[in-house]
Amino acid sequence: MARFNVYPLAQRFSGQISVPGDKSISHRALMLGMISKGEMSIEGLSMCEDVIHTKQACVDLGIDIQTDGNKTYVRGHGLYGVIATDKRIDCGNSGTSLRLFAGLLSGQSKSLTLVGDESLHRRPMKRILDPLQTMGANIEGRVDGEEIYPPLHIKNTDALSHIDYTLPVASAQVKSTLLLASLYAQQNSLIVEPILSRDHTERMLCYLGAPVLFQKTPRTIIMQVSSWNRELLPNPISIPGDISSAAFIIAAAVITQSSVTISNVGLNPLRKCFLDALRKSGACIEEELVSQENMEPRGNIVVHKNKNRQSFVLNRQEVASCIDEIPILAIVAACSLGESQFYGVEDLEFKESNRIKTIQDMLSNFSVSSKYHDGILSIDGIGEQLFSKATIQTQGDHRIVMAAAIASLRANGVCTITHADSVDTSFPSFALTLQKLGVEIQAH
């Protein structure tokens, strides 16, 4: 198991970098390519381990996928054209793959099993199984007490019924599972979100010609399948850089008073709340919108050198819009003066690790105190002081590894981070990108 040794930053950096393709959009492009009719070209697909699992799963489902340089070609056979050549679909560490495939495959009259790694087998699935079973899906998991976990067994179903459903949790994965299952329902479905979550599935479905309608208040999505010809168009997709990967580099610049430009990043309004959170902490960040084409806005992010960082508060909607950035925002909060608070973080308990615990353990190892009570995480920032040098146990959670590595740039000695190889889950070139900026980070 590799570890990172990270040295305190000797000199502020200044540079321009790019990050791999957006992971969330990459999963969706492969899955929707798989059920569209014809050859879809995808530019800039992420090559991280999570997406590689989705890609392999599509191949195991009988889909031909070819790669040529930065382009991936998926030859879909239509909504019902999936053939399970392997009955065990391995989703690795990826909750998005497993949950979205569960929705997509429930309506396909196939029998197969969705499995994952040890961490994925500890993640709750009742949130998708309850509504899928209401739609008539023949899907079951491993029941333990009140909760249900993978593996998920899907068996033949004739046809799914529609659903009118208000999500009990703010979750793009649950919403997307139901949107994908709704493609296979006889009548129109209606899905209501308590808090807005990333909308990549809706955007891509619209772009490929699916009958998705929106109502604003409350935020409702209608899948109007009753008058649809049940065909998705294989329109070409170009994937912008992943703002959730960029977040680590941006935060590194902010906490070390460095400057950096990240080119060609996704600027979806429901993903870039992280930038507003940093601005609240006093960071000076510009967004240069380059294009709105091809369903998702994209552009460059310019981080200027800044000095003062103050504490900040994020409400439930803001937390939902930067749910994957909470580990790195916890580090920014720790470098700010005063108490920062994050409201509505309870679902972090069910991520790749129990992130409430792993974040608090990480902070405590860096000699920063934090409290968690009733869904609110409070962090006592230490301002200009340095973190104590530490060895951080990351439980193999990629976002904890990267957050801890960035924090180490402001430590009073060399820090060691465990499970360094888990960065491959989302950002395989993480260390290389930092090295290009002059950061001393070694895997050993």
Q: How far is the CB of 176 from ligand S3P (least distance, A)?
A: 6
Least gap, CB of 226 to ligand S3P (angstroms): 26
Exactly one of 6, 8, 13, 24 binds ligand S3P (CB under 6 A); that residue is: 24
Would you say 330 or 411 has its CB closer to ligand S3P?
330
Q: Which residues contact residue 403 at a Cβ distance below 8 angstroms, ignoring those fewer than 6 apart?
A: 248, 327, 328, 330, 331, 359, 362
Active-site entry in 22, 50, 60, 324: 324
* Interface size with ligand S3P, residues (CB under 6 A): 10
Q: Exactly one of 93, 176, 177, 311 binds ligand S3P (CB under 6 A); which one?
A: 176
* Tally of residues, the chain: 444
- Does residue 323 touch ligand S3P according to CB under 6 A? yes
- Residues 189-218, mask of contacts with ligand S3P (x by CB under 6 A): --------xx--------------------
103 Cβ contact partners less than 8 Å away, ≥ 6 residues apart: 128, 132, 176, 177, 178, 179, 180, 181
Give the torsion sign (CA, 71, 72, 75, 80): negative
Using the structure block, give the residue that is written with the tokens 């990172």.
4
172 binds ligand S3P (CB under 6 A): yes
Q: Does the footprint of ligand S3P cover residue 173 (CB under 6 A)?
A: yes
The span of 83-91, 142-150, 170-178, 282-290 binding ligand S3P (CB under 6 A) equals 170-178
Q: Whose Cβ is closer to ligand S3P: residue 201's or residue 259's?
A: 201
Does the footprint of ligand S3P cover residue 238 (CB under 6 A)? no
Residue number with CB closer to ligand S3P (198 or 298): 198
Residue with tokens 């009955």: 87
Binding window for ligand S3P (CB under 6 A); candidates: 66-74, 168-176, 211-219, 227-235: 168-176
The piece of 133-141, 149-157, 166-174, 330-338 that touches ligand S3P (CB under 6 A) is 166-174
Using alpha carbons, select from 392, 323, 315 the residue that is nearest to residue 356: 323
Contacting residue, 36, 96, 258, 321, with ligand S3P by CB under 6 A:
96
Question: If you compute the radius of gyration of the chain from its CA atoms, what whole number of angstroms results?
Answer: 21
Cα distance between residue 87 and residue 89, in whole Å: 6
Please give the DSSP secondary-structure letter assigned to residue 209: T
CA distances from 368 to 4, 8, 402 (A): 21, 17, 18
361 catalytic residue (yes or no): no
User: Smaller CB distance to ligand S3P: residue 182 or 336?
Assistant: 182
The answer to whether 97 contacts ligand S3P (rule: CB under 6 A) is no
Q: How much of the chain is in helix, strand and coil states, percent to nearest 5?
A: 35, 30, 40
Q: How far is the CB of 353 from ligand S3P (least distance, A)?
A: 12
The set of residues, in sequence order, having a beta carbon less than 8 Å from that of 61 and lying 6+ positions away, is: 34, 82, 83, 84, 85, 89, 105
Closest to ligand S3P by CB, 348 vs 415, is: 348
Task: Give me the torsion for CA of 353, 354, 360, 366, rounded to 10°.
Answer: -10
Contact indicator for 439, 9 with CB cutoff of 8 Å: yes
Using the rule CB under 6 A, is 49 a contact of ligand S3P?
Answer: no
Question: Which CB atom, from 48 or from 390, has the smaller least distance to ligand S3P?
Answer: 48
Binding site for ligand S3P (CB under 6 A): 24, 96, 171-173, 176, 197-198, 323-324
Q: Which residues are identified as catalytic? A: 324
